[in-house]
């Protein structure tokens, strides 16, 4: 089993839709979690950290479920500009090595 | 620009040649990471420095790969005797290392093509 797993998609949604991605992780000792956004042929950029209590930033909501070992990202009212790959990152355990998922591709169409 | 910078942005080389990439992290960051990313995959960890000390090295990093961060500031990644399978985007990231705020910031990457 991979350390961090994501459905690669693509998720093809119309503008205005709500879409959710999940990311599962195998190391129960993981301590910190992030969502990054990566546009085609660009570097990953931090979208948001994921806190135990969940957190929201505008149209984006991230949640952590430690019992089931997954994190989620919810995007409301999708915009064309949300089209990108969303990378899940899990840190922790015995080292500071961050582990990335392979990313979930989102395509928002008119 | 006070972000992470990488040089060169693109490198085309012939199989068997050596290449070296440079990364300049955000100035106050003491952690520096190197990753490799191929199409359709997330970044794969290669190695990581805390100041000048190389603390972790992935099994992915063969003997042909070496990284340095001599003064705890910029870092170099060298690949000797390049192979076609080394073609990828090489990403550098830095972070502050502060507990609870250890977000990584990425550079634009160096795209390597081995012919």
Mean pLDDT within B4-23:
97
Closest CA of chain B from A15, distance in Å: 24
N-term to C-term CA, chain B: 33
DSSP state of A81: G
At residue A1, the pLDDT reads 66
Q: Which of the four pLDDT bands, split at 50, 70 and 90, describes residue B85?
A: very high
Local confidence pLDDT in tens for the 110 residues of chain A: 678 999 999 999 999 999 999 999 998 888 889 999 999 989 999 999 998 888 999 999 999 999 999 999 999 999 999 999 999 999 875 566 789 999 999 999 99
Mark yes or no for CB contact A98/B107 under 8 Å.
no
Of residues A34, A42, A97, nearest to B48 (C-beta)? A97
Q: Which of the four pLDDT bands, split at 50, 70 and 90, describes residue B99?
A: low
Structure-block tokens of residue B76: 């170099």
User: What is the percent of chain B with per-residue pLDDT over 70, rounded to a whole number?
Assistant: 96
* Helix, coil or strand: residue A38: strand
Mark yes or no for CB contact A103/B45 under 8 Å.
no
Q: Tokens 């998720």 correspond to what residue?
A: A11
Chain A neighbors of B109, CB-CB under 8 A: 43
Mean pLDDT within B80-101:
89
Chain A neighbors of B107, CB-CB under 8 A: 43
Interface of B with A (CB under 8 A): 31, 33, 35, 40-45, 48, 55-56, 91, 100, 102-109
Mean pLDDT within B14-35:
95
In this model, does residue B1 exceed pLDDT 60?
no
At residue A71, the pLDDT reads 96
At residue A97, the pLDDT reads 79
Task: Enumerate residues 6+ apart whose C-beta is below 8 A from B98.
Answer: none
| Separation between Cα atoms, residue B97 and residue B30, nearest integer Å | 7
In this model, does residue B60 exceed pLDDT 80?
no
Closest CA of chain A from B109, distance in Å: 7
User: What is the percent of chain B with per-residue pLDDT over 90, rounded to a whole number?
Assistant: 77
């Amino acid at each position: 089993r991979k350390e961090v797993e994501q459905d690669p998609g693509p998720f093809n949604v119309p503008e205005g839709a709500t879409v959710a991605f999940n990311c599962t992780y195998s190391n129960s000792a993981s301590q910190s979690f992030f969502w990054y956004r990566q546009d085609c042929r660009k570097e990953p950029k931090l979208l948001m950290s994921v806190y135990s209590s969940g957190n929201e930033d505008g149209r984006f909501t991230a949640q952590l479920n430690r019992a089931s070992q997954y994190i989620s990202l919810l995007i409301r009212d999708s915009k064309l500009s949300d089209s990108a790959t969303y990378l899940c990152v899990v840190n922790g355990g015995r080292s500071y090595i961050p582990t990335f998922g392979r990313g979930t591709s989102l395509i928002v169409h008119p | 620009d006070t972000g992470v910078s990488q040089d060169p942005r693109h490198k085309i080389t012939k199989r068997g040649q050596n290449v070296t990439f440079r990364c300049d992290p955000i100035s106050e960051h003491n952690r520096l990471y190197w990753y490799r990313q191929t199409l359709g995959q997330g970044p794969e960890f290669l190695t990581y420095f805390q100041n000048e000390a190389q603390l972790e090295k992935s099994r992915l990093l063969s003997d042909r790969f070496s990284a340095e961060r001599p003064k705890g500031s910029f870092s170099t990644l060298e690949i000797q005797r390049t192979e076609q399978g080394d073609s990828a985007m090489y990403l550098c990231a830095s972070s502050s290392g502060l507990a609870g705020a250890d977000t990584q910031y990425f550079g634009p990457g160096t795209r390597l093509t081995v012919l």
